[in-house]
Structure 1
Amino acid sequence: MNDLQRLKEMGISVWEVRRADVFPNQPQQTITLPVGCKLLLICDNQPEEQDAWLFGKILSSMKLTPEDALRLPADALLAITDHNLEWCWFAGCDGDAPHGTKKLTSPSLSLLQHDQNAKKALWHQIKTL
């Protein structure tokens, strides 16, 4: 069994090589998002349990589910190919949203957890876009 088959069996459909510089002769990696992905959360750290709860609540307010969203680090944005995204949310970082998406910005989820003004600002962005 090869590595790709193992990843597929584990339900992992998106991954990245952490040290791409070790493989200088490899072609540029591209990321094809799942067809159902409507929101891309861009943050450099994997959300912790409390952060994931808040993220789920925000998704719910947008009439989205966790299955409609995917998290990627900021440096992976350039590798995205075709997509069906509606939203690109930068949490604790900034960048250019993929073409045709609505861009949201906020502090990281862990900071957003305790900052009512930042939550209000995020909600205002969601409602006005």
Structure 2
Amino acid sequence: MNDLQRLKEMGITVWDVKRPDLFPNNADKAIALPSSCKLLFVSDAELSERDAWLFGKILASMKLTPEQALSLPSRALANLGEHSLIWCWFAGASVQTLSGVNSLSSPVLSILNDDQDAKKALWKQIKRYEN
């Protein structure tokens, strides 16, 4: 079994090279999202089990499944290639405009879990796009 298969079995589909200078041929490669990806979650924070549960609940409220969402760290967004995104959710990351994509902004999920005002603000953003 090769390393890529191991990562896939562990559910890791996106990763970063810590020393990109050692791999000059991989620089500037566009990140290709599957056409099934409708929401890109941009955050530099790792998700705890509790955070993942909240993320799933929010996706369900948006009529999306976890299979329709992928996560990227903010530094990888610059390498985003063609996509079929409808939503881009920036959690604790600076919002960047993606043409034709609905942008959401919130604190990281670990804060959102316990902050009712932040949850309401996120919900209002989601509802604004539905009108």
TM-score (norm 1): 0.88
Which residue of structure 2 lines up, in the alignment, with residue 44 of structure 1? 44
Identity among equivalent pairs (%): 60
Are 2:49 and 1:69 equivalent residues in the alignment? Answer: no
- CA contact under 8 A between 1:90 and 1:106: conserved in structure 2? yes
Report deviation, 1:106: 0.4
Which residue of structure 2 lines up, in the alignment, with residue 101 of structure 1? 101
Aligned residues: 129
Secondary structure of 1:84's match?
coil
Report deviation, 1:25: 5.3
Measured at CA, do residues 108 and 27 of structure 1 come closer, stay the same or move farther in structure 2, by a change above 3 Å? closer
Which residue of structure 1 lines up, in the alignment, with residue 120 of structure 2? 120
Matched to 1:33, the amino acid is L
Which residue of structure 1 lines up, in the alignment, with residue 78 of structure 2? 78
- Segments of 5+ residues of structure 1 without an aligned counterpart are none
TM-score (norm 2): 0.87
Secondary structure of 1:88's match?
strand
Secondary structure of 1:54's match?
helix
Matches of 1:3 and 1:34, distance apart in 2: 21
- CA contact under 8 A between 2:95 and 2:105: conserved in structure 1? no
Matches of 2:24 and 2:63, distance apart in 1: 42
Measured at CA, do residues 111 and 33 of structure 1 come closer, stay the same or move farther in structure 2, by a change above 3 Å? same
Are 2:23 and 1:23 equivalent residues in the alignment? Answer: yes
Matches of 1:124 and 1:10, distance apart in 2: 35
Which residue of structure 2 lines up, in the alignment, with residue 90 of structure 1? 90
Matched to 2:58, the amino acid is I
Matches of 1:109 and 1:89, distance apart in 2: 11
Measured at CA, do residues 11 and 61 of structure 1 come closer, stay the same or move farther in structure 2, by a change above 3 Å? closer
- Segments of 5+ residues of structure 2 without an aligned counterpart are none
Which residue of structure 1 lines up, in the alignment, with residue 111 of structure 2? 111
Matches of 1:8 and 1:61, distance apart in 2: 27
Matches of 1:8 and 1:116, distance apart in 2: 35
CA RMSD of aligned residues (A): 2.0
